Chain A
Amino acid sequence: MSATKRNVRVFRYDPAVGGDGGFRDYTLEVENASAMTMLDVLLHIQREQDPTIAFRFACRVAMCGSCGMVINGRERLACKTNVSDLPPSEDITLRPMNHFPVIKDLVVDMDPMFNKFRETLSFFEPKEQLTEPARIAPDAPEREEIRLATDCIACGCCVSSCTMVDHHPDYAGPAALARAYALIADSRDGLFQERLAAALPSCHECRTETNCTEVCPKGISPTRAIKYIQRTALVQLEVTPKEAEVEETEAPPARWEVDRATFIRGAGVAVIGAAVAVTLGSVAAITTVGPTESAAAEEWVSVGRIADLPQGKVTTVLLNYEARSGIYSQTISKPVMISRLSDEIICYKTACPHLGCTVHFENQSDEFRCACHGGTFDRSGSVIAGPPPRALDRYRHKIEGDQLLVLI
């Protein structure tokens, strides 16, 4: 196989210099891409090009968990990733894991993760003094449930991939929770309740991104472990008043010093929250207490040419006009009775003042009549008979040129 040149970008950080660190480029001849691991790549560069480069490794067979790093945008073990696993078009990019302080180049301080292991009581505490080792068959349901979780090599890949680790400082993280899960699911464990209580609050920080499940080089799913702890706690966590008391006395005093980032984050959340609350609240408030129908603005609507309205008759005209209320616009059809019985033009509403039925003019009797309850009005609109309490309502009108306009 012919050798190919690959560009290798390695993140460099020198603790003596400090600063932000950055990538340095190396070019490497790759003889056999499918037989060359990232660890080989680093060793080649270290021996042949740059002896100052720092990285961690030990077993070379994915058992020690020392060589976890971000390779081309994904957490992997350097000893388990071959050059051929990466697209030939991409540079090889080696970078330290996320969420761990960088000591030098690719070497990170794993303490934050191991501190979380301690907080979630990730150590085995036998139930009783046993003289014989407990036997759990490989095909026992309990063993099946735990599955691969005992294979964790604490490489930190899952912690690096989980964005929630960065956003929630109290979050135990996927590695510690996967370990806690393996112990919680173990019937020999003597700290069931304590472990459950210690692990549960952290489980709520999981947002089911499943990044940890994707990157685990041992095929473990911390996501599944976290869900298991939550389900178990739902059924089996004992919450006793005594525990609550202990918790109260042991709680650290409230801290009032807030750093800038926390403050800005808090303020941001408050502003967004307030904006959403005000928007939704005002809409809700207006709908609840505001008038259901705002007083429609009056407008002059044209009825048509006066010449078209016959003299000595009452003509009912259907007005079509656009009514606007705030941002709504609506086409409204409204009938108007135009009386030209005398020289004076009178515009009546068709609604009966009694209960709103439609009033019409009867030519034969020369009266306005309401069909509902027999309300009768004379030609000037005054009540003659029936229940209507007042004369027919009128619209104001005016004449512009040859047009008749009505104020609706």
Chain B
Amino acid sequence: MSVTEDEAKPIQYRKHLRWGEHDPNRRANTPLGMWAWLWQRVSALLIVVLLVLHISLPYKLAIQFLLLLTVTFHATLGLRVILLDFNLVSIRHHRTLAWALPVVGLIAIFIVWRCIY
């Protein structure tokens, strides 16, 4: 495309598109790593809420369990970032890390919980 000097009207660029804008198939194609990032943020907010509940209503098993669950989920996703940060696990396995760590963490927590209660 060429614009001649005579053309008075300057080309008007469209503001950059943003993630998901005009993008019907984006959500289905969202990579796992991004979900890992997003879920860690969501669980962080959940921890704040559950922590307040836990402090105000101590000894409620349901809240304790949910808090433990959320903290574990959040921590394992954080572990993923640490492992990648320090190259302790090759970036090739980043997808495996994103699902395997939370799964292992949650299973461990279920076992611990069953042993206690």
B87 touching A227, Cβ below 8 Å: yes
B1-22: which have CB < 8 Å to A?
A: 1, 9, 11-19, 21-22
Q: Given A227-B84, A280-B48, does the pair A209, B16 have CB atoms closer than 8 Å? A: no
- B85 contacts which of A18, A208, A214 (Cβ < 8 Å)? A208
Chain A residues with CB under 8 A of B94: 210, 213, 223
Contacts between the two chains (Cβ within 8 Å), count: 134
Closest to B14 in A: A102
Chain A residues with CB under 8 A of B48: 276, 279-280
- B15 contacts which of A11, A73, A101, A163 (Cβ < 8 Å)? A101
B31 touching A54, Cβ below 8 Å: no
Q: Given A20-B14, A90-B25, does the pair A224, B87 have CB atoms closer than 8 Å? A: yes
The proximity string for B residues 83-102 relative to A, scoring 1 for CB distances below 8 Å and 0 otherwise, is 01111000100110010000
Q: Does B52 contact A (CB under 8 A)?
A: yes
Instruction: Name the residue among B12, B21, B81 with the largest chain A CB count within 10 angstroms.
Output: B12
Q: Given A210-B33, A211-B34, does the pair A18, B12 have CB atoms closer than 8 Å? A: yes
B12 touching A93, Cβ below 8 Å: no
A209 touching B22, Cβ below 8 Å: no
Cα separation A99 to B1 with both chains bound (whole Å): 21
A95 touching B84, Cβ below 8 Å: no
Chain A residues with CB under 8 A of B81: 208
A100 touching B91, Cβ below 8 Å: no
Chain A residues with CB under 8 A of B14: 13, 15, 18-21, 101-102
A93 touching B25, Cβ below 8 Å: yes
Chain B residues with CB under 8 A of A18: 12, 14
Q: Given A23-B22, A90-B25, A213-B33, does the pair A95, B17 have CB atoms closer than 8 Å? A: yes
Closest to A225 in B: B91
Q: Does A97 contact B (CB under 8 A)?
A: yes
A223 touching B55, Cβ below 8 Å: no
Q: Given A227-B85, A230-B85, does the pair A72, B25 have CB atoms closer than 8 Å? A: yes
Chain B residues with CB under 8 A of A108: 16
Cα separation A227 to B52 with both chains bound (whole Å): 35
Q: Does A103 contact B (CB under 8 A)?
A: yes
Chain A interface (Cβ within 8 Å of chain B)?
Answer: 9, 11, 13, 15-16, 18-23, 54, 70, 72-74, 90-91, 93, 95-104, 107-109, 112, 161, 163, 166, 207-211, 213-215, 221, 223-224, 227-228, 230-231, 276, 279-280, 283, 287, 327
Top 8 closest pairs, chain A to chain B, by CB: A210-B33, A73-B25, A73-B29, A102-B14, A73-B26, A101-B13, A214-B31, A224-B91
